[in-house]
């Protein structure tokens, strides 16, 4: 049975709308209402990268949102699931999510759930996977630890490196995200680690929220991951920098803390359909995703 196009709630009715047709300032106001850091420009980036629904009241006010981002033919990530505070316990988020799930039925799904939203996603059969550590703060170049020994040469990436970055990201994420990586290159500064002409690790950094966010970061070892994130720390020393990572220990996690980005909060990666390990043929050897593109995009 198809989800309803409308929902009677709290003495008024909500209608579904396409997120592409809503003014950016109204979406920005929605995320501000729940304390999320997204700028209007961040919303626009996400609208260009994905699709979504909004919940509208009778006079067109935006009371909720939910987005999805296809990656290839079989996987999508879900994010920007927001309902205004007074509707969070009244079923609006579940109504939006059921609309999204109906739209992308048949795909494997991933999302990153806040503590407040975990019960909702569990009720929709999403399964817990890994904790994401939101590391952020005023960046500083560590002085108490020796620079990691990079296995190759580091240089700034350019458009000619996009195919190699797409392939490396696919090895770390589990599917090819061609359109997303191409789009990120247009909004980011990237550093890559090269063994001769072969790209072996990379880290992108772009404006987001209160400052900049580093991600994705893909590397084969902690030392390589530190080596390609360090230049971004140098570039943004003294300003706000954020990284979202599954790494809770080891050299990379320690580097982030020493670089002024301690753990600020956590969310939980959850899946519906294939589990994370299913995308890697039973093993995780090779490149790993050390930092997410973002909590919304995975």
b vs e for 59-80, b when ≥16 Cβ sit within 10 Å of the residue's Cβ? eeebbbbbbbbbbeeebbbbbb
Phi and psi of 51, rounded to 5°? -135, 170
Decide: 111 and 121 in contact? Cβ < 8 Å. yes
CA–CA distances in Å: residue 58 to residues 63, 91, 257: 11, 18, 47
Listed in order, strand segments (DSSP E) in the chain are 6-9, 12-18, 51-56, 62-71, 75-83, 108-113, 127-138, 153-156, 189-195, 198-208, 211-219, 240-245, 263-272, 288-291
SS3 169: helix
Listed by start position, the domains of the chain span 6-106, 133-291
Pairing assessment for the beta strands 108-113 and 189-195 based on DSSP bridges = unpaired
pLDDT by 10s per residue, the chain, length 298: 566 665 555 555 788 899 999 999 999 999 999 999 999 999 999 999 999 999 988 888 898 999 999 998 899 999 999 987 667 667 788 889 999 999 999 999 999 999 989 999 999 999 999 999 999 999 999 886 555 566 789 999 999 999 999 999 999 999 999 999 999 999 999 999 999 999 999 999 999 999 999 999 999 999 999 999 999 999 999 999 999 999 999 999 999 999 999 999 999 999 999 999 888 765 567 899 999 999 999 9
Decide: 270 and 110 in contact? Cβ < 8 Å. yes
CATH architecture of 6-106: 3-Layer(aba) Sandwich (3.40)
DSSP state of 111: E
Decide: 256 and 243 in contact? Cβ < 8 Å. yes
- Fold match, 6-106 / 133-291: yes
* Domain 133-291 grouped into CATH 3.40.630.90: yes
């Amino acid at each position: 049975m198809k989800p309803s196009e409308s929902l009677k709630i709290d003495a008024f009715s909500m209608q579904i709308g396409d997120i592409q047709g809503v003014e950016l300032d109204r979406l920005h106001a929605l995320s501000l209402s729940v304390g999320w850091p997204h700028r209007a420009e961040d919303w626009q980036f996400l609208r260009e990268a994905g699709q979504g629904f909004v919940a509208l009241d009778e006079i067109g006010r935006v009371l909720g949102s939910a987005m999805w981002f296809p990656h290839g033919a079989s996987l999508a990530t879900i994010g920007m699931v927001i309902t205004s505070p007074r509707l969070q316990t009244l079923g609006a988020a579940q109504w939006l999510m059921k609309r999204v799930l109906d739209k992308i039925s048949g795909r494997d799904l991933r999302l990153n759930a806040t503590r407040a939203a975990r019960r909702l996603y569990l009720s929709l059969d999403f399964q817990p996977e890994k904790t994401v550590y939101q590391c952020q703060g005023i960046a500083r170049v560590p002085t108490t630890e020796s620079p990691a020994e990079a296995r190759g040469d580091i240089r700034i990436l350019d458009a000619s490196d996009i195919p190699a970055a797409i392939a490396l990201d696919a090895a770390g994420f589990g599917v090819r995200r061609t359109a997303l990586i191409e789009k990120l290159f247009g909004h980011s500064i990237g550093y890559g680690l090269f063994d001769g002409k072969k790209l072996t690790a990379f880290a992108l950094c772009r404006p987001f929220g209160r400052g900049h966010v580093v991600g994705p970061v893909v590397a084969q070892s902690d030392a390589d991951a530190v080596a390609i994130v360090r230049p971004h720390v140098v570039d943004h020393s003294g300003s706000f920098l954020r990284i979202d990572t599954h790494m809770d220990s080891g050299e990379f996690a320690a580097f982030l803390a020493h670089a002024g980005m301690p753990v600020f909060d956590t969310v939980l990666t959850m899946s519906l359909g294939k589990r994370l390990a299913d995308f890697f043929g039973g093993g995780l050897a090779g490149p790993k995703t050390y930092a997410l593109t973002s909590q919304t995009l995975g």
